[in-house]
């Protein structure tokens, strides 16, 4: 249960606060390009944060990057965290159930 809550809190921070803040700030300077640039920066910040969690494991970092891209794209496309929350919470829940470091990677 704690892993599901942690996934939800991460989503609120990265894909609600960081993504929204970056795109709003960048809209002043970049207009339409604020969304891909803000999204790319958010994915980068998300990946760097998780590099401390997964000790730069290349397989884990690849999946974290892909996962961040899916969450950014779904958040920007649907203007809601529902898809990102569902992915992140279920991923963390599955990982904690099988005691794995990355649930999206079959090892």
Q: Mind giving me the DSSP string for the chain?
A: -HHHHHHHHHHIIIIIIIHHHHHHHHHHHHGGGHHHHHHHHHHHHHHHHHHHHTTT-HHHHHHHHHHHHHHHHHHHHHSSSHHHHHHHHHHHHHHHHTT-S-TTS--
pLDDT of residue 74: 94
Answer yes or no: is 49 within a domain: yes
User: What is the sign, positive or negative, of the torsion defined by CA atoms of 65, 73, 90, 53?
Assistant: positive
Determine the Cα–Cα distance for residues 11 and 68; give it in Å rounded to an integer: 10
Whose CA is closest to 53, among 45, 61, 43? 61
Answer yes or no: is 29 within a domain: yes
Determine the Cα–Cα distance for residues 93 and 97; give it in Å rounded to an integer: 6
83 vs 54, residue with greater confidence: 83
- Domain range spanning residue 51? 2-97
pLDDT higher than threshold 90 for residue 89: no
pLDDT band of residue 105 (cuts 50, 70, 90) is: very low
pLDDT of residue 91: 79
Answer yes or no: is 40 within a domain: yes
Answer yes or no: is 102 within a domain: no
Answer yes or no: is 107 within a domain: no
Answer yes or no: is 103 within a domain: no
pLDDT higher than threshold 70 for residue 106: no
Answer yes or no: is 93 within a domain: yes
Answer yes or no: is 77 within a domain: yes
Question: How many structural domains are present in the chain?
Answer: 1
Give Dmax over CA atoms of the chain in angstroms: 46
pTM of the predicted model as reported, rounded to 2 decimal places = 0.84
pLDDT of residue 107: 37
Of 14-18, 54-58, 67-71, which range is least confident?
A: 54-58
pLDDT band of residue 24 (cuts 50, 70, 90) is: very high
pLDDT band of residue 101 (cuts 50, 70, 90) is: low
């Amino acid at each position: 249960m704690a892993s599901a809550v942690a996934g939800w809190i991460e989503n609120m921070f990265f894909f609600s606060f960081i993504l929204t803040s970056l795109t709003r700030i960048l809209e002043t300077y970049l207009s339409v390009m604020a969304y891909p640039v803000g999204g790319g920066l958010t994915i980068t910040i998300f990946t760097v944060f998780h590099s401390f969690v997964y000790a730069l494991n290349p397989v884990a970092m690849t999946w974290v990057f892909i996962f961040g891209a899916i969450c950014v794209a779904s958040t920007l496309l649907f203007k809601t965290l529902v898809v990102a929350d569902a992915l992140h919470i279920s991923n963390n829940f599955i990982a904690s159930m099988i005691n794995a470091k990355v649930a999206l990677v079959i090892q």
